[in-house]
């Protein structure tokens, strides 16, 4: 009797978020690349508040691997910590609006 056991390899963060400095009124873009697609519960946060797709916040995904957040027309109060969470994986970076 031969038993084959397939375990799904856990995704890892290939390249995480990078600290970003921008001026008031500009756009700030954060990108996180995962090793493979299919990770559930992907969420972006700014200083602990969940972000959602709207005219100021653009959230996109390419091939299920490259996740991008663009904050448009930033203001000083947008400075803070950006967090990308995909299942158990977390990457953070600082946003500084000057």
At 21-66, the pLDDT tens digits run 999 999 999 999 999 888 888 999 999 999 999 989 999 999 999 9
CA distance 11 to 65: 10
Question: Each residue of 65-75: pLDDT tens digit?
Answer: 999 999 999 99
Distances (CA, A) of 17 to 4, 25, 33: 38, 21, 9
Q: Which of 68, 69, 56 is nearest to 25 (CA)?
A: 56
* 55 vs 18 pLDDT, higher one: 18
Distance of alpha carbon 6 from its chain centroid, rounded? 29
Find the helix or strand (DSSP H, E) in which 19 lies: none
The DSSP 8-state label assigned to residue 76 in this structure reads G
pLDDT bin (cut points 50, 70, 90) of residue 84 is very high
pLDDT attached to residue 6: 47
Spell out the domains of the chain, with CATH numbers in brackets.
19-97 (2.60.40.10)
Q: Are β-strands 66-71 and 57-62 bridged in parallel, bridged antiparallel, or unpaired?
A: antiparallel
Whether the full predicted model's pTM is greater than 0.75, yes or no, is yes
């Amino acid at each position: 009797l031969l038993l084959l056991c397939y375990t799904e390899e856990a995704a890892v963060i290939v390249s995480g978020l990078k600290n970003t400095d921008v001026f008031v009124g500009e756009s700030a873009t954060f990108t996180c690349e995962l090793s493979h697609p299919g990770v559930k519960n992907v969420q972006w946060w700014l200083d602990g508040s969940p972000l959602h797709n709207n005219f100021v916040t653009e959230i996109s995904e390419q091939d299920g691997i490259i996740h991008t957040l663009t904050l448009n027309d930033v203001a000083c109060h947008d400075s803070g910590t950006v967090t990308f969470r995909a299942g158990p994986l977390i990457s953070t970076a600082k946003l500084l609006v000057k």
